[in-house]
Amino acid sequence: MKTPIVAFALSIIISLSARAELKWEQTTVELHPTAADKQAVGHFKYQNPGKTPVHFKSVHASCGCTTAQTQKDEVPPGGTGEITATFNIGDRTGTQVKTVTVETDEATNQKTVLTLRTIIPEQLEINPRLVFWKQGDKPDPKAITVKVGKDFTVKHIKVTSSSPDFQTKVEEKGNGEFKIDVQPQETKNVIASTLTIQPEDSQKVFYATARITNSPVVQ
Partner 1 sequence: MRSSLVRQVLILLALALAPGVGEAVYFRHRISWQSAVLPSELVTVDQARTWGGNVIWVDARPDEEFASDHVPGALSLNEDRWNELLPQFLAVWSPGTKVVVYCSSLSCNTSREVARRLRREAQLPDVFVLEGGWEAWLKKNR
174 near partner 1, judged by CB under 8 A: no
CA–CA separation, 78 and 19 (whole Å): 12
Shortest Cβ distance from residue 17 to partner 1 (Å)? Answer: 36
Name which of residues 176 to 215 contact partner 1 (CB under 8 A). 192, 194, 206-209, 211, 213-215
Q: What is the DSSP letter of 155?
A: -
Give the closest residue to 19 by CA, choosing from 102, 94, 105: 105
3-state DSSP call for residue 15?
A: helix
CB atoms within 10 A of CB 180: 22
- Sole binder of partner 1 in the list 3, 16, 64, 150 (CB under 8 A): 64
Q: Least distance from C-beta 157 to partner 1, angstroms?
A: 15
Of 22 and 208, nearer to partner 1 (C-beta) is 208
Asked if residues 53 and 80 have their Cβ atoms less than 8 Å apart, the reply is no
- Closest to partner 1 by CB, 22 vs 182, is 182
Q: Restricting to residues 89-128, name those near partner 1 by CB under 8 A.
A: 90-92, 126-128
Say whether residue 88 binds partner 1 (CB under 8 A): yes
Q: CB atoms < 10 A from the CB of 216, how many?
A: 7
| Position 16, amino acid | L
Q: Which positions touch partner 1 (CB under 8 A)?
A: 62-65, 88, 90-92, 126-130, 132, 134, 192, 194, 206-209, 211, 213-217, 219
